[in-house]
Amino acid sequence: MAKLIVNEYLLTPAKTAELIQICPFHALEDVEGKLVINENCKMCRICVNKGPRGVMEILEGEKRKEIDKSLWKGIAVYVDHVDGEIHPVTMELLGKARELSAKVDFPVYALFIGHDINEKAQELLHYGADKVFVYDHKELKDFRIEPYSAAFEDFIHQVKPSSILVGATTVGRSLAPRIAARFRTGLTADCTVLDMKENTDLVQIRPAFGGNIMAQIKTPNTRPQLATVRYKVMNAMERMPEARGEIVQCTIEESKLVSRIEVLEVRPKEKEVSISDAETIIAVGRGVKNEKDMDLVKELAALLGAQIAGTRPLIESGWLDAKRQVGLSGRTVKPKLMITLGVSGSVQFAAGMNGSEYIFAVNNDEQAEIFNVAHFGIVGDLYEVLPELIERVRLTKGA
């Protein structure tokens, strides 16, 4: 592992001050006249490349043993489900896997773990899976982390997929880190863009540092490569009329499916209206000055049959329920129509809604980032635009 060191014999008070100033993470500090590297260091190498020559140095650790990538083939998708009912994020990931596999001529696999799921597994052959690996055991009826991890691990040992895509659901977020730890490989959470290099390295892109940059992450020295992706981020394939591919029945020793968790009862969660499934959404930001002004937004939403969502500041102010937050720290949505009112359009927010079919933005700042992703926009005061918009919609509906 690389290590950052300070060559103190080259230091001067002026160089110390320069280095402290140049570090964007405040990882360098002057402690009793000595330059100290603290826990904020991200190993970004800015101090090495931009600072006084020779003062900061990177000592490279032992070179990691290169993996034989030719032994790892295929792109696998974990099938997220509840009692065999497949979560739609699975179909989206199969579509993305099909797209990535075309670049390196890999097969697409689906990993289905559960009980009494063979009939449901057939459906996956209509969505681009070349092979569906089914672990069907009574011990796998209810999700318990130990047996599911054991089946997942067995699949990887047997099939050796190069990349694995997992839905960022409650189950997916529990499984993926455990699998990454067992194989001492990397895991990138909540990816917004995925690409594949010719050498089979998976390029995983997601916002980082509070949404200020888009980080491009690769794990070139380990396999398998793991990434989680939220629902509504990728595009699902159209269902093919004919099933193509095959079902592979897998077995695993029952001793590996033992769990310390005993499921006493499973209670269905009460269904609720989710903004993730809404076809029309009105999202409000800090441009809305008072909570009482939300009445105008509610009026427009009622006319359009839309769900109301918001940015993080409004959620933290208590104006909307946390389940109505759009963005990487909230929900990812892909409506047919997204109307944003007074939303600046940060990377975090945009990543949660830029897959919308049509985005209509209202903001009084013509330089607002939201206009970079919007299909239509009005530069103006929303307190002037919104009443006019409501009146136009009312007249149109009346006609």
Same domain, 113 and 243: yes
Average pLDDT of the segment spanning 275-298: 94
Q: What angle do CA 237, 240, 241 make, to 5 degrees?
A: 155
Q: 3-class secondary structure for 239-299? A: CCCCCCCEEEEECCCHHHHCCCCCCCCCCCCCCCCCHHHCCEEEEECCCCCCHHHHHHHHH
Same domain, 243 and 219: yes
Same domain, 74 and 7: no
CATH of the domain at 153: 3.40.50.620
CA distance 210 to 206: 11
Assess if residue 332 is contained within a domain.
Answer: yes
The lowest-confidence range among 48-62, 96-110, 114-128, 232-246 is 48-62
CA-closest candidate to residue 299, choices 386, 398, 397: 386
Same domain, 17 and 135: no
State how far the alpha carbon of 16 is from the alpha carbons of 25, 31, 36, 39, 91, in Å: 15, 11, 10, 18, 54
Question: Where are the alpha helices (H) located in 131-251, listed in sequence order?
Answer: 145-159, 170-182
pLDDT(68) > 80: yes
Assess if residue 264 is contained within a domain.
Answer: no
Which percentage of the chain shows pLDDT scores above 90? 84
pLDDT(35) > 90: yes
CB atoms within 10 A of CB 114: 23
Assess if residue 167 is contained within a domain.
Answer: yes
State how far the alpha carbon of 183 is from the alpha carbons of 4, 135, 186, in Å: 27, 20, 9
Same domain, 89 and 156: yes
* Inter-residue contact 192 to 351 (CB < 8 Å): yes
CA distance 175 to 171: 6
In which domain, by residue range, is 378 found? 275-398
Same domain, 290 and 161: no
pLDDT number for residue 328: 83
pLDDT(399) > 60: no
pLDDT number for residue 268: 83
CATH of the domain at 46: 3.30.70.20
pLDDT(314) > 80: yes
Average pLDDT of the segment spanning 20-29: 93
Same domain, 121 and 233: yes
Question: What's the chain's average pLDDT?
Answer: 93
Assess if residue 262 is contained within a domain.
Answer: no
Same domain, 19 and 75: no
Q: How far is C-alpha 215 from the geometric centre of its chain's CA atoms?
A: 12
Peptide bond preceding 241: is omega within 30 degrees of 0, i.e. cis?
A: no
Q: What is the pLDDT of residues 211-251, one digit of tens each?
A: 677 899 999 999 999 999 999 999 998 999 999 999 999 99
Assess if residue 268 is contained within a domain.
Answer: no
CB atoms within 10 A of CB 254: 11
Same domain, 279 and 385: yes
Number of domains within the chain: 3
Average pLDDT of the segment spanning 53-57: 93
Q: What is the pLDDT of residues 335-359, one digit of tens each?
A: 999 999 999 999 889 989 988 999 9
pLDDT class of 269 with cuts at 50, 70, 90 = confident
* Inter-residue contact 245 to 125 (CB < 8 Å): yes
